């Protein structure tokens, strides 16, 4: 699945590292979703406050908007 993808976006650096361990061929197409937000990591809000979920949503939305501008 990863090898067939043109682009793999991850939320945190360790996600990217895990993808590359699974599929070394994904190098060069695996990036942080927050790449265009100064390479901001997007922390997992699981078991966190509502505020943490809202912040994650804001970062995801901003990251997607920035990526869209590059297509």
In angstroms, the Cα distances linking 18 to 22, 32, 51 are: 6, 12, 28
pLDDT at 1: 85
Q: Where are the domains of the chain?
A: 8-70
Give mean pLDDT, residues 57-68.
97
Provide the whole-model pTM. Answer: 0.88
pLDDT for res 18: 98
pLDDT tens digits, 5-59: 999 999 999 999 999 999 999 999 999 999 999 988 999 999 999 999 999 999 9
pLDDT score, position 39: 85
Q: 8-70 architecture in CATH? A: 3-Layer(aba) Sandwich (3.40)
CB atoms within 10 A of CB 33: 21
């Amino acid at each position: 699945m990863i090898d067939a993808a043109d682009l793999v976006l991850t939320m945190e650096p360790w996600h990217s590292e895990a993808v590359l361990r699974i599929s070394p061929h994904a190098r060069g197409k695996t990036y942080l979703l927050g790449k265009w937000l100064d390479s901001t990591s997007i922390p997992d809000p699981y078991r966190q406050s509502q505020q943490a979920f809202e912040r994650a949503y804001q970062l995801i939305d901003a990251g997607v908007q920035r990526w869209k501008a590059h297509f």
